[in-house]
Amino acid sequence: MTWIKFSGEKIELPIKNQVENALKRETALGHKLKVCIGTDSLVKGATTHFATVIVILREQRGGFMYIHRTRSKNKMTIKERMLLEVSKSIEIAYALCDLLDSYNIDLEVHADINTNPNFKSNKALSDAMGYILSMGFIFKAKPEAFASTSCANRKI
């Protein structure tokens, strides 16, 4: 699985090791941290492009992120696509949760799903919320889900 920094620089380490190094560095500097994970997608022709981000926030000191991009040729409904986004985020959250627990860092999973029923993505809201909460993660949807709606959205 290939991850990059915001600058586009490829990360050579496994992502868990990269995140751990960042947590060590940032906590040694005295920063209080929070991690937010989110995925967004964009359909271009017959291909769906996904971007998953790990956002590491420093309280009152900005943050930084790591990005992973994938593509799919599978045709999906909007609900299937939203739930696949959530699944990709949960996969990464699950891989990092023990590490984050050991540093006592809060983790949120952000879903690019609108809470307004007038939007198509809302069809997946209750399923996505149940999926994320049942895994034991904090759930955020639009407009609070900046990791998926802003960060990942810019990197598709």
pLDDT digit string, tens, across residues 98-123 = 999 999 999 999 999 999 889 988 99
CA 22 to chain CA centroid, nearest Å:
17
Tell me the pLDDT band of 1, cut-offs 50, 70 and 90.
confident
Counting the structural domains of the chain, the total is 1
Which CATH number goes with the domain that contains 106? 3.30.420
Tell me the pLDDT band of 153, cut-offs 50, 70 and 90.
confident
Location of structure tokens 């593509």: 71
The string of pLDDT tens digits covering residues 40-83 is 999 999 999 999 999 999 999 999 999 999 999 999 999 999 99
CA distances from 112 to 12, 17, 71, 118, 136 (A): 28, 27, 17, 15, 19
Note the pTM of the prediction, 2 decimals: 0.93
Domain span at residue 83 reads 4-155
Closest by CA to 147, choosing from 73, 38, 6, 24, is 38
Kindly state the tokens that stand for 72. 């799919």
Could you give the CA distance from residue 100 to residue 74 in angstroms, rounded to a whole number?
A: 33
